Copies of this chain bind each other. A is one copy, B any other.
Amino acid sequence: MHICSHSNDVRQRVAMWQGEGLSVGLVPTMGYLHRGHASLIEAAARENDRVVVSIFVNPLQFGATEDLASYPRDLSRDTEVCRQGGASLIFNPSPDELYPEGFCSYVNMEGGPSLGLCGASRPGHFRGVCTVVAKLLHLVQPHRAYFGQKDAQQLAVIRRMVLDLNLPTAIVGCPIVREPDGLALSSRNSYLSAEERRAALCIYEGLLAGKSLVEAGEAGTEAVLRAVSTRIEAEPLARIDYLALVDPLDMRPVQTLNEPALCATAVYIGTTRLIDNLLLKS
């Protein structure tokens, strides 16, 4: 397995593979890899001849007051996760490599699935995501790129961007991986104290409470959202950033639960902002 930090090295290596007729899968990550990322790498390794994992804490998708500086990093552990997952190459560029002096071109989503949820809470976030993903897709030119369903809105935004801009890569979404107690895996879970870690379970339990209600026949969105928020807010360390029932494809709020509905939420546990989601109606 190779580790490249320069764009040209990645391009050359991928060109060599493509010259041999090998298929290439890309797993874009911000590193500090957990079993969720491992599941993406493994899926990519099953479906492609070669797998590129990018590890890049993308400054462009962080707001000025967000956790760019403290975002956890551990390249040696990440390397091991990539190796075990079957990756062929790690692309680990510096910010200057991807955003050199004079950089001024951005991919931006104006509306569509980028509205609301994280798009509302984190202005500029999806401009950063779309720009870096477009760059990585251009650099690696993969046949398939893999993203976790945990970032449901990100997945919807990337699917829309790829469709709108005619990018030739297939986008593959993979299921959320959870801890045994149900907490969705996230690199940001490392910020949690023991007490916060216990408290964070309220998020998944809230989503499950909503799902139970829907399965019992409740079709009103207000009642379902109330059930979810009641469970989350029962936890003193939790503060809801957003909570919504949305269409799983275009992320627009749904009016009833007679149509497909994803319950998506962002919750502060102490100062750590975690996101999670669950399909309540398919």
In the bound complex, residues from chain B placing their C-beta under 8 Å from that of A102 are 112, 160, 250
Given A104-B160, A160-B104, answer yes or no on A165-B109 (Cβ-Cβ < 8 Å).
no
Interface membership of A130, Cβ < 8 A: yes
Q: Say whether A165 contacts B11, CB under 8 Å.
A: no
Chain A contact residues, majority secondary structure? mixed
Q: Say whether B112 contacts A106, CB under 8 Å.
A: no
| Distance between Cα atoms of A81 and B7 in the complex (Å) | 39
Q: Say whether A135 contacts B166, CB under 8 Å.
A: yes
Q: Say whether B105 contacts A130, CB under 8 Å.
A: yes
Interface membership of A180, Cβ < 8 A: no
- How many copies of the chain does the oligomer comprise? 2
Interface membership of A48, Cβ < 8 A: no
Q: Say whether B105 contacts A166, CB under 8 Å.
A: no
Q: Which of B164, B167, B250 contacts A103 (CB 8 A)?
A: B164
Q: Say whether A139 contacts B114, CB under 8 Å.
A: no
In the bound complex, residues from chain B placing their C-beta under 8 Å from that of A139 are 166
Q: Say whether B168 contacts A11, CB under 8 Å.
A: yes
Q: What are the interface flags for A166-206 relative to B under an 8 Å C-beta threshold, 1 for contact and 0 otherwise?
A: 11100000000000000000000000000000000000000
Q: Say whether B106 contacts A108, CB under 8 Å.
A: yes
Q: Say whether A165 contacts B112, CB under 8 Å.
A: no
**Least Cβ distance of A83 to chain B in Å?**
26
Closest to A135 in B: B166
Given A165-B135, A167-B138, A168-B138, answer yes or no on A110-B114 (Cβ-Cβ < 8 Å).
no
Q: Say whether A105 contacts B7, CB under 8 Å.
A: no
Q: What are the interface flags for A96-139 relative to B under an 8 Å C-beta threshold, 1 for contact and 0 otherwise?
A: 00000011111111111010000000000000001100110011
Q: Say whether B105 contacts A164, CB under 8 Å.
A: yes
In the bound complex, residues from chain B placing their C-beta under 8 Å from that of A109 are 104-106
| Distance between Cα atoms of A13 and B257 in the complex (Å) | 44
In the bound complex, residues from chain B placing their C-beta under 8 Å from that of A111 are 104
A-B contact pairs, 14 of them (CB 8 A): A102-B250, A104-B110, A104-B111, A104-B164, A105-B107, A105-B130, A105-B164, A106-B108, A106-B109, A106-B110, A107-B108, A107-B165, A138-B168, A141-B168
Besides the contacts A105-B107, A107-B165, A138-B167, what 5 more A-B pairs have beta carbons closer than 8 Å? A104-B160, A105-B108, A105-B112, A105-B164, A107-B107
